[in-house]
Each structure stands twice: as structure tokens, then as C-alpha cells.
Chains A and B, each alone.
Chain A
Amino acid sequence: MTLSHCIALSLILCGIGIFGMMTRRNLLGILLSVEVILNGANINFAAFAHFKAADPVAGAVFPIFVMAVSACEIAVALAIILSMYRSKKRLDVYRLEELNG
């Protein structure tokens, strides 16, 4: 178990998350893939803090901030999903076109 192994693991997790974001059609599925990507980023922080950092406490504090921000993001996004489901009755991203994006 070296630093390179941890970085490779987090890179693979990031790739899996990007694949999920591209293939899912459900809004909830896309949010779930974002969580996988954030998980990989947190593993990266922890690995660098353990193996390399002159200041390992900072590397342990940053994932906590990432977790807090992702909790905020999930709360707001799930509220948006809920209100969107009330008005549209579906969560297909290919059908949600009123913003014309």
C-alpha cells in the first residue's frame, strides 16, 4: 500500500463517476455519480496526508469540509428534484428542456 496505489484508486473512482454522469438519464443517478467522484477526491486527500504531508492535520481537515459542502449540495439538489418531480412527474434529464440549455 503506497501513495501511488491510493492515487490510482482515486483516479479509477473519478473515472467511474464520470462514466455514470454520462450514461445516467435519471437526475438522482447523476447526483449519485457526483458522490462517487467526491469519494475519490477524499481518498486522495487522506492518502497525501498520510504519506507525504509536512502537516498531516490539514489533509485530514479538508475532507471534512468537502463532506460538509457535499451535504449542502445534496440537500439543495434533492429539494430541486422533489419540486421538479411535483411539477413534471418525471426525472428524465433528456425531457427537462424548459431552460433550453
Chain B
Amino acid sequence: MTDILFYSLAVLLVTLSCCAVSLPNMLHSAIALIGSFLITAALYIMLHIEMLALAQIMLYVGGIVVFMLLIILLTTGLGVDDKLGRISAGKWISKGLITGLLLTGMLYFFTENSSDLLDKAVAKSAAIVTIDQIGTRLLSLENGFIVPFEVISLLLLAALVGAVVIARKDAEKTEDLS
């Protein structure tokens, strides 16, 4: 039962990601990206990490993709960019070939050099991570993640201020207004 669910979710995830990457209309690809993020949240629930599913939905679907949709609507109208030339079919096929070769090479490498890490992994499954544990570890001093947590908060603040400064209109115009 779980296998069938996992396989169907994986197939859906791969198709939606392909759509997000290759659809000509940017608006459609952003919506496909929303679908792929929701399916990833479902996979996290299947892996018994509910906290990640919640964070995925709130941060990615609620934040990042909405931000992206706003910028798409601001820049390219309804997602159709007529000024953008299409990539020729030859280039498309050659880049697909490069990526396919990379993928098959890595899959071959990993299946040939099989290790204990992968083979014995099934036996040790079902370690359930609760939200309580994650919160305590995130803020604990011993063996915890307090330093990266604080650094991330500084990084978010710097990125926020930097984004506002970069996206602001030209200096002369704002000085005229004030």
C-alpha cells in the first residue's frame, strides 16, 4: 500500500517538476511548482517528519512561490514573454542528452558500488521525529543548533534590507518626493 502511494506520488512529482521546468508560460510553470511542493510535503508526511511538511507548505507554497508569482505578473504580464526568443529544438535535445547522460552515469555508479549504507537501511526505519524534539534541539546549547539558528536570523535580516535597497527606485526620484 505504501509502495503504491510512494510510486504514484513520485511519478506525479517528477511530471510536475518537468512541467515547471519546461512549460513556455512562466505562470503555468509556477503553478506546477506549487503542485510539486505540495507533493513533496506529502512525501515528508510519509517519512514521518510532519514538521518539515508544515514548513514546506508555509515557507515554499505560502511564501516563495507567491512571491515568484507576483514578480512574474509584474514583469511578464500573464507569463507570456514575446520578446524572448525560443530555444531551438537542436539545443533542447542536446541539453536533454547531457542531463540524461549525467543521470544514467550517476545511477550506474550508485547501483554498481552498492554499500552497506543503502542495503541495510530498510531494517532501521520508522524513527519518528516529533515537533517537540526539533524545537528543543534547535534552541539547546549542548549538541544543539543555537548558533546556526542565530546566524540564519541575521542572514534573513540582511537579505530583507538588501532586497529593499536593491528593488527601490532610483535615488533622485525618491529624493524629489521627500
Chain A residues with a Cβ under 8 A of chain B: 1-9, 11-13, 15-20, 22-26, 28-29, 31-33, 35-36, 39, 42-43, 46-47, 49-53, 56-58, 60-61, 63-65, 67-76, 78-83, 85-86, 90-92, 94
Contact = CB atoms under 8 A, between A and B. Distances in A.
Given A33-B20, A52-B117, A65-B152, 19 more contacts: A9-B10, A11-B106, A18-B99, A18-B102, A19-B21, A23-B21, A28-B71, A46-B47, A49-B47, A51-B122, A52-B124, A56-B127, A58-B145, A60-B129, A67-B55, A71-B156, A73-B159, A83-B167, A94-B85
Contact of A72 (B75, B81, B145, B156): B156
Interface string B60-88: 10011001100110111000010111010
Contact of A32 (B68, B81, B164, B166): B68
B118 A3 contact: yes
A28 B166 contact: no
Interface of B: 2-3, 6, 10, 13-14, 17-18, 20-22, 26, 29-30, 33, 36-37, 40, 43-44, 46-49, 51-52, 55-56, 59-60, 63-64, 67-68, 71-72, 74-76, 81, 83-85, 87, 91-92, 95-96, 98-100, 102-103, 106-107, 110, 117-118, 121-122, 124-127, 129, 133-134, 137-138, 145, 148, 152, 155-156, 158-160, 162-164, 166-167, 169
A32 B33 contact: yes
Contacts, number: 220
A49 B126 CA distance: 10
Interface of B is mostly: helix
Contacts of B14: 9, 12-13, 16
A17 B76 CA distance: 22
B145 A46 contact: no
B125 A50 contact: yes
B167 A16 contact: no
Given A22-B95, A36-B20, A82 B74 contact: yes
A36 B20 CA distance: 9
Contacts of B129: 49, 56-57, 60
A6 B85 CA distance: 37
User: Nearest 9 A-B pairs (CB), nearest first?
Assistant: A20-B21, A72-B159, A3-B121, A79-B167, A79-B163, A79-B166, A1-B6, A19-B99, A50-B47
